[in-house]
Amino acid sequence: MAGKNSVEVVINGKIYQLAGSESESYMHEVASYLNQKILDFQKETMGYNKLDDSIKALLLEVNICDDLFKERKRSRDIQQARDDAERESYAAKHDLVNMQMKLETTLRELENTQKKLAELEAKQAAQDARDRALASTKK
């Protein structure tokens, strides 16, 4: 089991002690994310500083949930695209194997046909030689 890390972070101007199995840099990254969300609210929400702390917290929680849901959807979409790409890749590999098998069959047929042609040409050459020999003996 990983040891616990403890780190002091500043969130919304207050110092907090965070502890967890994650790295210190990760916990600073989380605190930085929260600070950025709070800054965004302060800029975007008229009278943010006059709102009750529980309303501020609720706005922050809803916004973070929204980020989470968007990331989950993005992750599902990426997974779906990956699955689709894997299926297409599998189908393409399957088609490639089928084409290779057809090519091998066609090459074997071509080889057999070439052998038959060579045999027929040899027979024809022999027949032509016999015919010439027969014709020269008749003269």
Contact indicator for 41, 59 with CB cutoff of 8 Å = yes
Where are the chain's structural domains? 1-48, 51-139
Could you tell me which of 14, 17, 66 has the C-alpha nearest to residue 37? Answer: 66
* Model confidence pTM above 0.75: no
Backbone angles phi, psi at 67, to 5 degrees: -60, -45
CATH number assigned to the domain with residue range 1-48, chosen from the 4 options 3.30.160, 3.30.70, 3.40.50, 2.70.98: 3.30.160
In tens, the pLDDT along 73-101 reads 999 999 999 999 999 999 999 999 999 99
In tens, the pLDDT along 106-135 reads 999 999 999 999 999 999 999 999 989 888
